[in-house]
Amino acid sequence: MKTFLVIGIGRFGRHLCKKLYDLGYEVMAVDSREECINSVLDYTTDSMIGDSTNETFIRSLGVDSFDTCFVAIGDNFQNSLETTSLLKEAGAKVVVARASREVHRKFLLRNGADKVVYPELEMAEWSAIRYSSEHILDYIPLPGANSIFEVALPGTWIGKSISELHIRKQYNLNIVGIKKDGHLDMIIDPELRLEKGMSLLVIGKDKDIQNCFHISTDRFRSN
């Protein structure tokens, strides 16, 4: 079973603990504030109150035993930076740190973070793209300006088969799933007639998805 250490139990850290715990993983929460630790007791397997900028305290956590250590500190960048550095020095395998600005990302990476996440920026990006077109139902960004979109069927596609649409030939896109009534089918029959109420999972380059469904994606991409 995978184990996770979450340092910094604000809103992001609290939601992170709960989701990891719901997925069946072991989660240890750390914060300097007792009330924050108390807020996650129901969905953590262990917790500690302490100062994550203290080297002795960090080493006492046995950070090398966790699969991933999250630095979810959002209100004090200096503490986030010091915590990230101490985790790597103590032997942490993977450190994922939270950032709110681009300059923070650069410093965190230089000080040992393996990955930096922007919760607010990423949610804003998802929301902007999700609600920029009536066709978009969901959106997952992938490396290299690629994405997976769940899209509602354009009206002109209803009644046609996938083979008749020539999506791969015209737009360089692949349909990887068809969803109907909440059921996802990933075995695609090219002769299947598309029906009202279906949605498609489409993967490809952002620019190709934009051209196919007349939606804008590039301007929402973070640098």
Give me the numbers of helices (H) and strands (E) for the chain, helices first please: 9, 11
pLDDT at res. 113 = 94
- Side chain identity at 221, as an amino acid letter? R
Q: Are residues 8 and 97 in the same domain?
A: yes
Q: Are residues 17 and 93 in the same domain?
A: yes
Q: Which of 25-34, 164-173, 180-189 is most confident? A: 25-34
Q: Which of 119, 136, 166 is the last residue of a domain?
A: 119
Whether the per-residue pLDDT at 219 is higher than 60: the answer is no
Query: What's the domain range around 93?
Result: 3-119
**The domain that contains 216 carries what CATH number?**
3.30.70.1450
Summarised one tens digit per residue, pLDDT across range 14-23 is 999 999 999 9
Summarised one tens digit per residue, pLDDT across range 41-91 is 999 999 999 999 999 999 999 999 999 999 999 889 999 999 999 999 999
Average pLDDT over the chain, rounded to an integer: 87
Q: Are residues 14 and 84 in the same domain?
A: yes
Q: Which of 119, 151, 180 is the last residue of a domain?
A: 119
Return all residues near 150 (Cβ < 8 A) that are at least 6 apart.
136, 137, 138, 139, 179, 199, 200, 201, 202
Q: 185 and 178 in contact (C-beta within 8 Å)?
A: yes
Q: Which of 85, 119, 153 is the last residue of a domain?
A: 119
* Domains in the chain, number: 2
Is pTM beyond 0.75? Reply is no
